[in-house]
Structure 1
Amino acid sequence: MTLEVLPSVPHYIPAPPTNEKLPWADLGVVDLSKAATAEGRAELAATARDALHNIGFFYVINHGLSQEKRDRIFDIADIPFSQVSDPEKREYEGKIIETGSYQGYKPRRFWHINGGVQDEVEAYSINRDVSKKQHPDALRPYLPEIDEFSRHNHSVLHTILTLLAIGLELPEDAFMKQHGSNVIGESDVRFMKYYPRTAVEEEKAQQVWLKGHTDIGSITILWSQPVSALQILSPDGQWRWIRHIDNALVVNAGDCMEFLSGGFYKATIHRVFQPPVDQRDCTRLGAFYFAFPDENVKLLAASESPVLERVGIQRRFEDENAPTVETYRKARTATYGKTALKQNEGDNTEEEVVSGVLVKHYN
C-alpha cells in the first residue's frame, strides 16, 4: 500500500477564540449525517427553511471533511498571501471592474468602506474548475487539494439545495438543476485575509471592515474560523456576532436564492466588524465557497411552489424584467465598493440600482 505524500505547507496559526462576552446570534444547526434518509432530509429541511426564512444563517456540522483536512486547507489558504510576492500578485490580479468577476486577486484598499477609508482585505478566488486559469507558482503544488476541497463544497451545496427545495415543497432536485454539476459557471473557492487597521482609520470607518450587504450568489459556505468579526442584522434590528464552531460551516443565502425562492429565503444582511479587544491585532484568514446558479438561469421565482402559492411571492422586479445570473453577477461585482451610493434620509442605509434591481447597503 502506497501512502499519499502531500507537499509540505507552512502552518498558519490563527488567534485563539475570544474570551469576550458578545451578543451572539442564535443559529440553527443542520447535521448532514441525517441527510441520507428521506426522514432525515425532512427534519433538516424544516431547520434550514426556518433559518433562511427568519434569520438568514445556519450552521452545518458532520459535512464529511475531517478536522485534519480542514486545518490543512487553512494552511493552504494563507499561501496566496504570505508566499507570493507583490509583483506576482499583480500579475494574477483579477480584472474585477472590467469583467464583473472576482477570479484571481482582489488587492487590499480596493473597496471604499466609509469616511474615505478603504478596505484591508486581500482575497484570492479560484473557479470551481481550478484548471480554468493559471495560478501563482507557490499555489500550484496544492491545486489537487484545492480541487478536492472545491468538489466537497459543491457536494455540500447540492445537499443544502435539496433541503431548501424540500422546504418549498418542490421536487428535491429543483434548485440543483439550476446549479448543474456539468456547468462550471462562476462558483468559486475564495481565500480571504483581513488585516488590522490603524486606530485613525477605525475611527473614521466606525469600526466597520465591510459594510452591511447581501451576497450576490445563491448560497455562501463559510468555513468557521476563530477570529470574531462577522455580524448579522437580526430581525429585531440588532447586529449580532457569529460564534465560532470548529470544523463547522456557516451558511447563508444570497440575492440569487432570494430571487429564485420568491423572497421566501432572505438574502442575509451581514457585515464584518473590528474584532474584540483580545483579537484586535490578529489577521483573520477565511476559506469560503461562493455558489452561483448556472450563468444562463433567469432569476425567476419558483411560482410552482405550494409554499409560495400560500404565502405569496415577494418581488423586487417583474418577471419580464428578470435578469440572468450572468447579467446580475457581473453588474453587482463590478459596482460593489466602487460606485457612489445614494444615502437614505432617516436611516443608515445606502442604495444603488443594479440591472434594474434596488440593492441596499447598511452602515
Structure 2
Amino acid sequence: MFTVPIIDMTPYVDPQSTPEQRAQVARALDEAAATVGFMQIVGHGVPTSAVDKLTDAVDEFFALPLDVKKRYISSRGENRGYSPPKSESLSMSLGVANANQMNDYFEAFTVGAGRSSYPAHPELPASSYPENFWPDDAAPAFQAGVQEWFCHARGVSRNLLRGFTDALQLAPGYFDNMVDYSIDIMNLNNYALPEGEVILTGELTGMGAHTDFGILTVLWADQVPGLQILDPDGMWQDVQPADGALIVNLGDAMARWTNDRWLSTIHRVDPPIADGRIIRRRSAAFFFDGNYDAVIETLPGCARTDRPGYHPITVADNINAKLAGLKAGIAPTAAAREALRLTSAKSAT
C-alpha cells in the first residue's frame, strides 16, 4: 500500500538530542527519499501562530479584485510578484505540454531572497536574486505574515539538510558552501476557480505535473484534496497533510547529486473537488535551491557503473531552464529522465 511516511524531526530541532536519536531520523529520511521522494514532517518547530499569520496574509491578498492583483505582476519578467490564473504551465518545465499550454488555473504570489539578503555577497546576479516588491498599499498585513513564515521555512529546510547530510553519510557541513547564499523562493498559491464551479475547460489543471527544481521543498497546504504524486508504478496517488505536518519533497538538484539514489518525484495538483464541488485550496511552497553557482554533480558514494551520472550543471542554469518552460513554454533540453517518467504515467483509476 502506497504511503508517504511521517517523520518526527525533533532530534534535529532539540539541541539536547543524542547522536543516536539523530541517526534514527537520518535512516528514516534516507528510506523516504529513496522510495517515495516525499515525506511528512512533524516536530519541525514551527509555531501554529505562524501558520495563522500566513493564512491571514494569503487570504488578504488573494481576496483582492483581479485588476488590483495584476498591479503586482513583475514588469521585468522576474520570478517575483503576482502570477494570474492560466499564465503558467508547470508540465512544460519538463518539456511536456498540455493541450492548451498555459492552462494551470492556480494564481500565485512569489517572494524570495534578494541580493540584499546576503550583504556579504554584493556580486550576486540580480537575475537569480531579484528584490521583492510588496502589495503594502492594497494588503498592509501581507508582508509581515509572509516574511515570518519564510524565515521559519528557511530554518526547517536547513535542519532537513543536516539530516540529509547524515543520511548520505557525508561529513557534517558538506553542503555549507553550496547553500550560504541560497536561492530561496516561496510561492503562495491559490486555486482560483470560484467555489462550486465544476465546469472545467479542455485540459484545465490546478497545477500541471512537474518536479521541483532545487534541493528540497517545504510545503504548507490546506487539508483538502488536490495534491497527487506519481508512484513508482506510474499511478497518481492522493496526498493530504497530516495534522500539524509539513510536506517535504526532494527537487532535481538532490536527485542529480545522488544520481537518482534519491527521488525527485513528479507531482501535480488536480482541481480540488469534494462531493462534486470545487473547493478552495491554498498552499505555501518554500523552495530551498542552493547557491546560484553551486555545481550539481554526483556526490561521493552515489556513482554507479550501471547508471551514468547527470551532466554537471549549476543551480542557476538548472532553474533557469525549468523556468523558461514554466513561464514561456520553452522546453528544457536536459529534462529527459523526468519527462520520460511523466509521459509513461498511467491514468489513475
Asked if these proteins are the same fold (TM beyond 0.5), I'd say: yes
Tell me which residue corresponds to 2:318: 328
Deviation at 1:316, TM superposition (A): 5.6
- Matched AA of 1:301: T
| Count of paired positions | 312
Tell me which residue corresponds to 2:133: 134
Tell me which residue corresponds to 1:339: 329
Deviation at 1:82, TM superposition (A): 1.2
Tell me which residue corresponds to 2:156: 156
Tell me which residue corresponds to 1:72: 53
- Matched AA of 2:51: R
Runs ≥4 residues deviating over 4 A: 197-200, 311-316
Tell me which residue corresponds to 1:232: 229
Q: Could you tell me which runs of 5 or more consecutive residues in structure 1 were left unpaired when the two chains were aligned.
A: 1-23, 341-351
1:146 aligns with 2:126: no
- CA distance in 2 between partners of 1:331 and 1:188 (Å): 16
Deviation at 1:140, TM superposition (A): 4.5
Deviation at 1:88, TM superposition (A): 4.0
Q: TM-score w.r.t. structure 1 length? A: 0.77
- Matched AA of 1:29: I
Contact 2:215 2:254 in 1 (8 A): yes
Contact 2:272 2:281 in 1 (8 A): no
Q: Could you tell me which runs of 5 or more consecutive residues in structure 2 were left unpaired when the two chains were aligned.
A: 90-96, 118-130
- Matched AA of 2:281: R
Judging changes above 3 Å, is the alpha-carbon distance between structure 1 residues 233 and 80 closer, same or farther for their aligned structure 2 residues? same
- Matched AA of 1:110: S
- CA distance in 2 between partners of 1:266 and 1:246 (Å): 25
Alignment of 1:3-14 (within 5 A): none
Deviation at 1:314, TM superposition (A): 4.3
Alignment of 1:159-174 (within 5 A): 159-174=159-174
Q: TM-score w.r.t. structure 2 length? A: 0.80
Deviation at 1:145, TM superposition (A): 3.6
Tell me which residue corresponds to 1:29: 6
- Matched AA of 1:116: N
Contact 1:30 1:60 in 2 (8 A): yes
- Matched AA of 2:98: N
Q: Provide, for residues 289-346 of structure 1, a one-character-per-residue CA deviation record: whole Å limited to 9, x for no partner.
A: 11111101011121x23xx25x56844633xxx2211112112112126437xxxxxx
Alignment of 1:108-257 (within 5 A): 108-112=85-89, 114-116=98-100, 118-128=103-113, 132-137=131-136, 138-180=138-180, 183=181, 185-196=182-193, 199-201=198-200, 204-205=202-203, 208-257=205-254
- CA distance in 2 between partners of 1:266 and 1:151 (Å): 26
Judging changes above 3 Å, is the alpha-carbon distance between structure 1 residues 279 and 178 closer, same or farther for their aligned structure 2 residues? farther
Q: Provide, for residues 254-291 of structure 1, a one-character-per-residue CA deviation record: whole Å limited to 9, x for no partner.
A: 11111122222111111111324337322211112111
- Matched AA of 2:310: F
- CA distance in 2 between partners of 1:53 and 1:238 (Å): 18
In structure 1, the residue corresponding to 2:134 is in which secondary structure?
coil
- Matched AA of 2:267: H
Alignment of 1:266-285 (within 5 A): 266-278=263-275, 280-285=277-282
- CA distance in 1 between partners of 2:306 and 2:288 (Å): 23
Contact 2:225 2:272 in 1 (8 A): yes
* Match among 55, 58, 63 for residue 39 of structure 2: 58
- CA distance in 2 between partners of 1:332 and 1:82 (Å): 30
- CA distance in 1 between partners of 2:36 and 2:270 (Å): 19
* Match among 45, 53, 70 for residue 90 of structure 1: 70
Judging changes above 3 Å, is the alpha-carbon distance between structure 1 residues 327 and 281 closer, same or farther for their aligned structure 2 residues? same
- What is the aligned-residue identity percentage? 24
Deviation at 1:65, TM superposition (A): 1.8
Deviation at 1:224, TM superposition (A): 3.4
- CA distance in 2 between partners of 1:82 and 1:214 (Å): 29
- CA distance in 2 between partners of 1:265 and 1:190 (Å): 24
Contact 1:123 1:190 in 2 (8 A): yes
Deviation at 1:77, TM superposition (A): 1.7
In structure 2, the residue corresponding to 1:58 is in which secondary structure?
strand
Q: Provide, for residues 174-198 of structure 1, a one-character-per-residue CA deviation record: whole Å limited to 9, x for no partner.
A: 2343211xx2x43122210012386
Contact 2:40 2:241 in 1 (8 A): no
- CA distance in 1 between partners of 2:108 and 2:206 (Å): 14
- CA distance in 2 between partners of 1:334 and 1:195 (Å): 24
In structure 2, the residue corresponding to 1:53 is in which secondary structure?
helix
- Matched AA of 2:38: F
In structure 2, the residue corresponding to 1:135 is in which secondary structure?
coil
Contact 1:109 1:119 in 2 (8 A): yes
Judging changes above 3 Å, is the alpha-carbon distance between structure 1 residues 143 and 43 closer, same or farther for their aligned structure 2 residues? same
Deviation at 1:72, TM superposition (A): 2.5
- Matched AA of 2:239: I
Q: Provide, for residues 40-73 of structure 1, a one-character-per-residue CA deviation record: whole Å limited to 9, x for no partner.
A: 2111111111111111100110211222331231
- CA distance in 1 between partners of 2:276 and 2:163 (Å): 36
Contact 1:263 1:313 in 2 (8 A): no
Contact 2:295 2:313 in 1 (8 A): yes
In structure 1, the residue corresponding to 2:241 is in which secondary structure?
coil
Contact 2:298 2:309 in 1 (8 A): no
